[in-house]
Structure 1
Amino acid sequence: MANAEVFQVRTVEAPQLPAPVSTSGVIGWMRLNLFSSIGNTILTVVGILIAYSLLAPLIQFALIDAVWVGEDRTACLAQDGGHIGACWAYVGDYLPQFIYGRYPTEEIWRVNVVYALFALLLVPMMIPAVPFKGTNALLLLVVFPIVAYFLLTGLVIGDEEILPIVETAQWGGLLVTLVIAVTGITASLPLGVAFALGRRSKMPIIKFVSVVFIEFWRGVPLITVLFMSSVMLPLFLPEGVTFDKLLRVLVGVTLFSAAYMAEVVRGGLQAIPKGQYEGAMALGLRFWPMMYLIILPQALKLVIPGIVNTFIGLFKDTTLVLIVGMFDLLGQIQSSFSDPTWSTPVQGHTGYLFAALVFWVFCFSMSRYSIFIENKLHTGHKR
């Protein structure tokens, strides 16, 4: 009798087994990205050693050996020759000045209201799914600047002082940094778009003016622009005519940033295929509807990294206003070094570390948000 062959047919799908540990999870990611070859392994080990050599002393100084509470400099002085870390007690004592500068203490609530309004309007604007974007943009870009101006500077109606006048010379700290950065960012983008379109215009006069503007401001250092706008500009004005120093700085920073923004936007315009222009014209669209509806949305989407990079550079460049006598966050920190109450060998290190941390938080937040928007808007351009 022949041997009968027995076949078994599975009628139920076999259970899925988990991927091997070596190819999934943290271990799989490390094997793929950090230890995929001998060269990558060597580079990973060297990178870890370098990072440890840099971060270990920083963590030791900023956290482990730090002094968190104290009344004066004696709390941050080394005892018996021992090591001492960051004097965060000094930062805590000076924190109001770092945030508000010399703004009158009894009027600080006005600054806090401006901060709160800005956050309440900005956060919904940054969330894509929130409704009423148009109304929110109108409030943020039109209504808020007017309200913030009167809240910060004061309001006088007739002979009655509704809000006491606070001169901009009394502003300082993070307040000045944010005013300059937000104003420069908000105003430089539309100006940059306008000059980018002007540089690509077929009208000789408009193109010439745009090219001269862009090349002039890009060829002059920002520190020179600030010095000229603050010190030299009043010499060319008629007698009795003057501008507030903060206003002169805002104008200089905005024009300087707009020139760089124009070149970033022009790069996006040149990256748009010619077929997009031809298709828009075939639909009968004139120049401005074509730019507003078809060309600019695509161009600005392509250059989001460059736009945010310009914004980050502008935010960091606000520290240069110290050259014209305005005390931003960094300037306010430097001015505190003259106070003998907190004069210690680590005062300067702590102050600059605090400034670096604040600037890093703002710049890193802008960078991560730009990556989020770029990933959300990419449609076939990402590689």
Structure 2
Amino acid sequence: MAVQTTNSFVRSSLLEALPAPSSRRGAVAWVKENLLATPKDTILTVLALAFLLWSVPAAVDWLFVKAVWTGADRSACATVVQGGLQPDGWSGACWAFVDAKFQQFMFGRYPLDERWRPILVGVAFVALLVPILIPSVPRKGLNAILLFGIFPIVAFFLLYGGLGLEVVETPLWGGLMVTLILSFVGIAVSLPLGILLALGRRSNMPVIKLFCVVFIEVIRGIPLITVLFMASVMLPLFLPSGWTVDKLLRALIGVAIFASAYMAEVIRGGLQAIPKGQFEGADSLGLGYWQKMRLIVMPQAIKLVIPGIVNTFIGLFKDTSLVSIIGMFDLLGIVRLNFTDTTWATAVTPLTGLIFAGFVFWIFCFGMSRYSGFMERHLDTGHKK
């Protein structure tokens, strides 16, 4: 007797996913989960809200409501006290000072009639940088050649002069322009040089390994100020008589060398995180050393240490303010220099200027941080289905 079987009780398709319970959705659920999950979280949230309620209104009032936005001199930022004008540092921010000195904050003492040149360089820099930062834009190789090969040469002649343009000596450069120049050169040099130093430190050749270890440990063991002093003061002592090196070039070399040592350790950390099987697999394919590093190992290592690389770039961008120690005036240096201008000497001027400089630094650092997060998500292909 044959036994008839049936699969009528087995579903041929999956049920559609049900929506999350209403108590787990929306703003209220997010607040409960992230801010009020435990008694300790609730206490910290209440304390944070109390601090914000106490500080934010006062900060907004000082920064915007009571602030002075226009004026010709310090009298615009003075407060009327008992019928007389007296400087009052806490009456409101003096944005009139920033407005009056804005171009100097951007370009330093660069001649007024020639400031179209750094503006043109800035526009060209943005036009070349934006496409290389967007993954979907094609021709990355050509873009990189233009940005890192052609652009620095053109920018030098535009900023310094020559070829029919009036020469503007580097001591006249300053402000945000110098900050961006130092940062761009430091970043553009430190990444490839850091990669070479990291590979050299892991090399099997004793001479190269010893040189890279000594270089990295010596540079990392001294502060950037010392490196800048050595580049600015000691380097000319070793040059032949009559030879001289521009102060800005010395600062560029010092910043690039300093950042390269830190970048080398970041890259080395990524190389150590690569499984040994990746190296062995590349060897089994018959790839040479540089092919193995360029095609297999280095792309994975750099992807792993993107946060560390960007963190080094952010630190480099902020450390450029130390060049004021050797007589160069970056953004922060030129802001502080203008505190001595008697036309704007009030109690509120320094605080307003420092807030402006801090905000500009924050904008650039926050932008680098956000782009780092974007690239991490874009390159995180290891667990995608």
How far is 1:300 from its partner? 0.2
Distance, in Å, in 1 between the alignment partners of 2:244 and 2:58 is: 50
* 8 Å CA contact retained: 1:172, 1:326: yes
Q: Which residue of 2 aligns with 1:36?
A: 37
The structure-2 alpha-carbon separation of the partners of 1:63 and 1:107, relative to structure 1 and needing over 3 Å to count, comes to same
Distance, in Å, in 1 between the alignment partners of 2:45 and 2:381 is: 34
Q: State the TM-score, normalized to the length of structure 1.
A: 0.92
How far is 1:21 from its partner? 4.8
**Could you say what secondary structure the match of 1:71 adopts?**
coil
How far is 1:371 from its partner? 0.4
Deviates more, 1:76-85 or 1:144-153: 76-85
Distance, in Å, in 2 between the alignment partners of 1:52 and 1:272 is: 48
Q: Which residue of 2 aligns with 1:199?
A: 201
**Could you say what secondary structure the match of 1:66 adopts?**
coil
The structure-2 alpha-carbon separation of the partners of 1:38 and 1:331, relative to structure 1 and needing over 3 Å to count, comes to same
Q: Which residue of 2 aligns with 1:355?
A: 357
Deviates more, 1:69-78 or 1:167-176: 69-78
Distance, in Å, in 1 between the alignment partners of 2:259 and 2:17 is: 56
Which amino acid is 1:121 matched to? L
Q: Which residue of 1 aligns with 2:9?
A: none
Distance, in Å, in 2 between the alignment partners of 1:334 and 1:311 is: 24
* 8 Å CA contact retained: 1:67, 1:87: yes
Q: Which residue of 2 aligns with 1:140?
A: 147
Q: Which residue of 1 aligns with 2:118?
A: 111
Which amino acid is 1:95 matched to? F
How far is 1:37 from its partner? 1.9
Distance, in Å, in 1 between the alignment partners of 2:301 and 2:62 is: 46
Identity %: 58
The structure-2 alpha-carbon separation of the partners of 1:258 and 1:45, relative to structure 1 and needing over 3 Å to count, comes to same
Which amino acid is 1:219 matched to? G
Deviations 1:307-345 (A, max 9, x none): 000000000000000000000001100110111111111
How far is 1:19 from its partner? 5.2
**Could you say what secondary structure the match of 1:337 adopts?**
helix
Q: Which residue of 1 aligns with 2:65?
A: 64
Distance, in Å, in 1 between the alignment partners of 2:56 and 2:298 is: 43
Distance, in Å, in 2 between the alignment partners of 1:22 and 1:170 is: 63
Deviates more, 1:245-254 or 1:24-33: 24-33
* 8 Å CA contact retained: 1:78, 1:84: yes
Structure 1 unaligned blocks of 5 or more: 1-13, 157-161
How far is 1:32 from its partner? 1.1
Deviations 1:100-138 (A, max 9, x none): 000011110000000000000111111111112111111
Note if 1:242 corresponds to 2:244.
yes
Which amino acid is 1:259 matched to? A
Q: Which residue of 2 aligns with 1:79?
A: 80
Distance, in Å, in 2 between the alignment partners of 1:296 and 1:56 is: 50
Distance, in Å, in 1 between the alignment partners of 2:59 and 2:154 is: 42
Distance, in Å, in 2 between the alignment partners of 1:17 and 1:213 is: 60
How far is 1:265 from its partner? 0.2
The number of residue pairs the alignment matches comes to 364
The structure-2 alpha-carbon separation of the partners of 1:346 and 1:19, relative to structure 1 and needing over 3 Å to count, comes to same
How far is 1:33 from its partner? 0.8
Note if 1:165 corresponds to 2:167.
yes
Distance, in Å, in 1 between the alignment partners of 2:204 and 2:17 is: 64
Distance, in Å, in 1 between the alignment partners of 2:283 and 2:221 is: 36
Which amino acid is 1:147 matched to? V
Deviations 1:321-372 (A, max 9, x none): 0000000001100110111111111000000000000000000000000000
Q: Which residue of 2 aligns with 1:120?
A: 127
Note if 1:266 corresponds to 2:268.
yes
Q: Which residue of 2 aligns with 1:176?
A: 178
How far is 1:44 from its partner? 1.3
Note if 1:214 corresponds to 2:216.
yes
* 8 Å CA contact retained: 1:22, 1:31: no
Distance, in Å, in 2 between the alignment partners of 1:189 and 1:135 is: 19
